[in-house]
Chains A and B, each alone.
Chain A
Amino acid sequence: MRVAVLLKQVPDTTAKIGVSGSRVDESAITKWSISPYDEYALESAIALKESGADELVAITFGPQRASKCLTEAAAVGADRLIHIVTDADFMDSCTVQSILSSAIERSECDIVLCGKQAADTNSGSTGPGVASLLGYSCVGSVTEVSMDGGKLSATRLGATGLERIEVSGPCVFTFDKGEVELRRPNVRGIMMAKKKPIESIGIEDLGIEIGSPRASLKSHSSPPEKPPGQRFEGAGSIEIVVGKLRDEANVI
């Protein structure tokens, strides 16, 4: 069993997002991190490796700076690092998914772990889309995956509650935030990771045909500013405010 984990580098969730010239101003973002849900996927991927998976391949798709995700993954146990380099600021789902599926296929991984959505685009298309293209099963909103004698079982948040499922055959798991504690790399891990080679490839190296774009970004904008609100002091003002909620805002 070979495990791939898909890691996306996004602005840290504490970052302010500014817009300049109808595009998000990336130059103002000082801290980039692995997308939070992908971190849970990485944690589970390491656990799978510890319980006997043959290899853990970390894959990222993005500009040069994104290679930092891979080094971080290596520091906690990823065996092989693949960076598909692109400078494109926007790609449609068809393109992203065919590139990632092709990279997974080339690395011969039958288990794929990723976040349920990225913290920048908030979409959640990649996991199920990649599974569909590869012909794998897909289990979403997972908080934990474990392997027992070649069988994979997972805990997922289903429509009726938390449930344990079993899956047969190759599968993509998309991760939600779970109870699992994320491990931090130790010094030795960090030193080893610095030496680990990153296989840096271009989209053209994947040998797939990329069609013309099917979706394009027209603009980014900031959410509308709100006028300053009304301020009240003390719990005695609750009655007035409740009246305003009814008569002014008409929301109750």
Chain B
Amino acid sequence: MDITIISEASNESLHPVTAQLVGAASSIGGQISVICPGGVGSPEAAKISGVSKVISVEGDCFDSYDCMAWSNAIVPFIDGDLVLTSSSAIGREMSSAIAAKKGFPVVQDITSLNDGISVSRSIFSGKAIEEVEVSLPCALSVRANTFQPAEGGGNAEISTVNVSEEVSVAVKEALAKAGERLDVAEADIVISGGRGMGDPSNFSHLYEVADEIGAAVGASRAAVDTWEEIPHSMQVGQTGKTVTPSLYIAVGISGAIQHLAGMRSSKYILAINKDPEAPIFGVADYGIVASWEESIPALKEHLSAIMSD
């Protein structure tokens, strides 16, 4: 079985999830090639162990994102019978568009992959898990941080192809720059605040803690709906993002069922809430009954002490 991976880019370089895609592909065997849309990250992709070739697909159509132009440009270079992408917004669109163009079925956001092809994935944002059997050829998008990354030390050949595709989506104006901060869906540690934070300006305290430990800052739906300063991109839960970090810290979040769905699969959960009856404590590995005003300064101090050890 030959596997084609569509690489993921981040700020003009290769996103670390790409090595995880190679790791997932290696677990079921076959020759692995990596396609880099717009050529972004191709030298880095060539160094991932297990990759046999890198195709750098370049052209004007990659200047800004157009799902159809990109997928049209990439499809001719797919020779594998299994296509893997990340399950980011662009990754899902790519896997879906490529699958439809190739006549493949697609399964999104998988968290396990076995020969056969059998995959599992969470549904209802984590309230249940489904196991699906897919026939080859097919396309799959893979959730970040669920597969071990392949190591470095590879030396694959890079071939560059120039393409031209008709673009129908034109960017007219940048309205707001994306935050420089880590996305909750990708971070290994997430600290989220709820309406218990009292005021959106108090999220600055969460950012301070996040900076100590390299965490992303998230929020509950209640916080996002109540305060316009807290953007939907931070929302963890059923109408936001499903996250599975190593550590999830919930501060002033009571734990509505939609929120629990989106974070309960985190490896460890620390909940801080002044209400001892808050449902969040039901899923927490460590629960501290205390107000955020008292806890956050102490949390920052002790984390800072550990990090400087």
Contacts and interface: CB of A to CB of B under 8 A. Distances in A.
B133 A120 contact: no
Nearest to A167: B169
Contact of A238 (B97, B124, B298): B298
Contacts of B281: 229, 231
Contact of A133 (B71, B100, B105): B100
B123 A120 contact: yes
Interface residues of B, number: 91
A105 interface: no
A215 B291 contact: no
A227 B6 CA distance: 39
B302 A138 contact: no
Contacts of A186: none
B298 A239 contact: yes
Contacts of B283: 226, 229
Interface size class of A (residues with CB under 8 A): 35 or more
Nearest to A11: B124
Contacts of B286: 229-230, 232, 241, 244-245
Contacts of A161: 174-178
Contacts of A238: 288, 290, 295, 298-299, 302
Contacts of B124: 11, 17, 24, 119-120, 122
Contacts of B246: 251
Given A230-B286, A231-B281, A249-B247, A242 B302 contact: yes
Interface majority SS (helix, strand, loop, mixed), chain B = mixed
A198 B239 CA distance: 29
A206 interface: no
B134 interface: yes
Interface in A135-184: 136-141, 153, 155, 157-169, 171, 176-179
A246 B302 CA distance: 11
Given A140-B93, A215-B135, A122 B125 contact: yes
B84 interface: no
Nearest to A179: B228
A173 B116 CA distance: 34
A223 B126 contact: yes
B229 interface: no
13 contacts: A119-B238, A125-B96, A157-B233, A159-B65, A164-B171, A168-B168, A220-B129, A222-B128, A234-B288, A235-B295, A238-B290, A249-B268, A251-B268
9 tightest A-B CB contacts, nearest first: A132-B100, A235-B294, A17-B127, A161-B178, A214-B105, A238-B298, A242-B302, A129-B100, A128-B96
Given A164-B171, A167-B170, A235-B295, 12 more contacts: A123-B107, A124-B108, A128-B100, A132-B71, A162-B175, A177-B232, A217-B131, A223-B122, A229-B287, A233-B289, A245-B286, A252-B306
Interface of B: 9, 64-68, 71, 89-90, 92-93, 95-97, 99-101, 103-109, 118, 121-135, 138, 168-178, 189, 213, 228, 232-233, 235, 238-240, 242, 246-247, 256-258, 264-265, 267-270, 281, 283-291, 294-295, 298-299, 302-303, 306-307
